[in-house]
Amino acid sequence: MSTANQEIPMTIVGVGPGDPDMLTLKGQHTIANADLVVGFKTVLNVIEKWVSTGELCPMSYRDQEDVLDYARSEVAKGRSCVVCAWGDLNVSAKELIDRVRRRATTVTLVPGVSSIQFACSRSGIYMEESLFITLHKRADTGSDLEELLHHLNEGLRNIILLPRPFDLMPSLIAQNLIQAGVAPNRTIMVHQRLSLEGEQSWEGTLQDCADSSEEYSDLSIMVFKKD
Ligand SMILES: C[S@@+](CC[C@H](N)C(=O)[O-])C[C@H]1O[C@@H](n2cnc3c(N)ncnc32)[C@H](O)[C@@H]1O
C-alpha cells in the first residue's frame, strides 16, 4: 500500500535506434539490475537480451496507462522499475516521459543514442547546422508544417524531419510542400530502419518523393540539406 508522501523513484532509459548493440553500458546495467522492465513491445525486443531476472512488462498504446499504473504500484511495494524508450529520451519522447513523471516522485533519465544522430551521420551533416522538427505526435501538426516551410524557404539550416506513421509520411509531406510552393527539384534524403537489418537511404528530388508509391517504414527520417 502506498502512502501520500512515499518516494516513488523510476528510471527511464533511451535504448538507441534499434540495434541492441547501440544501447549504452549505463543503459545495460540499469536494465540488468531492474526488478521491472517496462516498454512498448518493439522497444523491449531491442533490450531483451540485457534483461536478467527482471519482469518484462510490455505495453501497447491502448494499455500503457494500466501497465504504468501497475509498475507504480510495484515500486510502492519496494521493487525497482526501468521504463525503456526508443532512441534518446530528449527526442520526440515527451508523451511517454510525461506519463512516467505523473506517477513517479523522482525520475532518473539515462540518455541513449538517437535515430537523428544516425540520420546526421548517414547524411553527412552536423547537428549544430541543423534544425529538428517532429510530426510524430498526437497534437495538431499545422504549426510544425508552417515552421518547416519557413525554414526551408530560409535555407540557413539542414532540417531533420520525423514523419508521422502512417498518415503523414514522406510522399504526402513532399506533395504538401510542393503545393505550398517549395521547388519540386529540391533535393531530399529519406533514411529508413537506421542501424537495423534492411536499412536504406534514398536521395532524390521532392517531386520524385511526391510521386513515389513506396510504402515507407514507420522508422523513416527525412533530411533536407541546407542550400
Ligand atoms: C516517437 S519518435 C522517437 C524517436 C526516438 N526517441 C529517437 O531518439 O530516435 C519515433 C520516430 O523516430 C524515427 N526513428 C526512430 N528510429 C528510427 C530508425 N532506426 N530509423 C529511422 N527512423 C527512426 C521515426 O521517424 C519514428 O517514427
Round to whole Å and give the CA distance between 195 and 125.
Answer: 17
Rounded to the nearest integer, the mean pLDDT of the chain is: 96
Banded pLDDT at 140 (limits 50, 70, 90): confident
Pocket mutation for ligand 1, best pick of 24, 89, 162, 173 (most atoms within 8 Å of C-beta): 162
- How far does the centroid of ligand 1 lie from the alpha carbon of residue 218, in Å? 8
Which atom of ligand 1 sits closest to the CA of residue 162? 25
Give residue 168's pLDDT. Answer: 95
Q: What is the CA radius of gyration of the chain?
A: 19
Q: Residue ranges of the alpha helices (H) in the chain?
A: 25-32, 41-47, 64-76, 94-101, 115-123, 142-154, 170-179, 206-211
Res 42 pLDDT > 70:
yes
Instruction: Give residue-wise pLDDT tens across range 59-89.
Output: 999 999 999 999 999 999 999 999 999 999 9
Is the pTM for the entire model greater than 0.75?
yes
DSSP secondary structure string, 17-34? Answer: SS-GGGS-HHHHHHHHT-
Is a pLDDT exceeding 60 seen at residue 6? Answer: yes
Question: Ligand 1 in contact with 13 (CB < 6 A)?
Answer: no
Distance from the Cα of residue 182 to its chain's centroid: 27
Is the distance from the beta carbon of residue 117 to the nearest atom of ligand 1 less than 6 Å? no
